[in-house]
Structure 1
């Protein structure tokens, strides 16, 4: 699947007060801005035209735009984030996506869904059941996707925060897996690139037009991905990890 565009949102000063379970300390705002800038440059180097939205101080976590929408080639689904403090982020995103599609679907209350729980592998989507995505929301998305001819599988999570915290599809049947997903029958037919427990954070990586963007400092995972034939680009992600954020969280790619 070739990507041509991405949407990102700059972190605001309120970002340092956002939601987190990571217990890694408070983010450094200036450093987060620098890391976000390098992230945008990496997307551009991979060939994407990047739409950069200004920071929204009202919503500290709004730099994690992936959670607000699910892009497919046939429609865009506006989500319904499970964290109450994030739910208002979808108001702005509804207006943004109208510039890119006329076909918009919505997850409706009481369903909750965040984009970090949705992974596409070719024409099939995997939807994680997490603390942020409930069964009602997952089933609504499954129904929407099937209406457009896609397949969908709902995957209950045991440990991971979001589905894409522990898994990434690189294309060509190659799947990066960590933790509970390594031996899951759901992903048994993929060619597995297994992430060791001490490098689990690196499982949230991005494959954009044959380049894999990886968090910096995970040498074993980097080596395995290179051995699978991919070019790897590393980015420092320390200030986003502190708020439970990974590489995929910071953009919508389509």
Structure 2
């Protein structure tokens, strides 16, 4: 069964880290409603949703994806590029150890989960403003002995690799080519989001379903032509905080190795 770790929305979300977007007022109550709808979508698609509360004092804590990278046989607790977020990992690790053995990334390496794309044994790591080459090296050290292939990807003009591209399945990538170097993905099927919907390349896979941003109608139509189970969720308040769909969960199979 799939497990989806989530974290409640912090009342301090308006104080979140921002890099490429201008600060806007985040409607906290609406964000809570959108988060609840997101969790219901995960459950509807067959995931067991675990809601954490340990990091409510951290403005970005609902973006739990960045705290850890979970593979079939290992959880890697990250060392985030944003200084203000580094203490979030301890609270999440307490939950993850219930499902996986844990390794940790240490400075000077930095890496955030939003920069990690997985397709089977292929791991793509975005080199971004939050993840450095040391982070890529750490992932290679931890994962290549376990049979994974780790490939670095250049990210440009956006926060994370998953802001620019995500997998619809292990062979099909949804991408904004203006924000990422697609050369490492040249052997895959690539769907380009329209220029009018630059944020729409972030979609989340849950079992056999794909969920896209409800505000990206052209991308919804595009994805629906290649996938027969497509959901839509409004994450407009989280977009103001430079977040997207995948940011709000860590999804993995419940096959604990401990």
User: For this structure pair, what is the TM-score category when the shorter chain's length is used for normalisation?
Assistant: over 0.9
CA distance in 1, matches of 2:65, 2:194: 25
Q: Is the 8 A contact 1:122 1:171 kept in 2?
A: no
Q: Determine if contact 1:55/1:63 at 8 Å carries over to the other structure.
A: no
Determine if contact 2:174/2:201 at 8 Å carries over to the other structure. yes
Matched, 1:41 2:46: no
Greater alpha carbon shift after TM alignment, 194-203 vs 79-88? 194-203
Partner residue, 2:255 = none
Note the aligned Cα RMSD (angstroms). Answer: 1.4
Alignment partners' CA distance in 2, 1:67 and 1:169: 17
Q: Name the counterpart of 1:209.
A: 207
Matches within 5 A, 1:73-84: 73-84=72-83
Aligned mates of 2:26, 2:179 — CA distance in 1: 29
Aligned mates of 1:131, 1:8 — CA distance in 2:
24
**Contact persistence 1:114–1:132 (CA under 8 A):** yes
Cα shift at 1:179: 2.4
Instruction: Judge conservation of contact 2:154–2:180 (CA < 8 Å) in 1.
Output: no
Aligned in 2, Cα 1:167/1:58: closer, same or farther, shift over 3 Å? same
Could you tell me which of 222, 225, 228 is aligned with 1:224? Answer: 222
Q: How many residues align structurally?
A: 251
TM-score by length of 1: 0.95
C-alpha distance 75-206 of structure 1, shift in aligned 2 (>3 A): same
1:24, CA displacement in angstroms?
5.3
Alpha-carbon distance between aligned partners in 2 of 1:7 and 1:50, rounded to the nearest angstrom: 6
Contact 1:11 1:63 in 2 (8 A): yes
Stretches of structure 1 that go unaligned for 5 or more consecutive residues are: none
1:56 and 2:85 are equivalent in the alignment:
no
Please, what TM-score do these two structures have when normalized by structure 2?
0.93
Q: 1:89 to 1:18 in 2, by over 3 A?
A: same
Separation in structure 2 between the aligned mates of residue 182 and residue 161 of structure 1, nearest angstrom: 11
Q: Who is 1:23 aligned against?
A: 22
229-238 or 59-68: bigger deviation: 229-238
How far did 1:17 drift?
A: 1.3
Aligned structure 1 segments of 4 or more residues deviating by more than 3 angstroms = 180-183
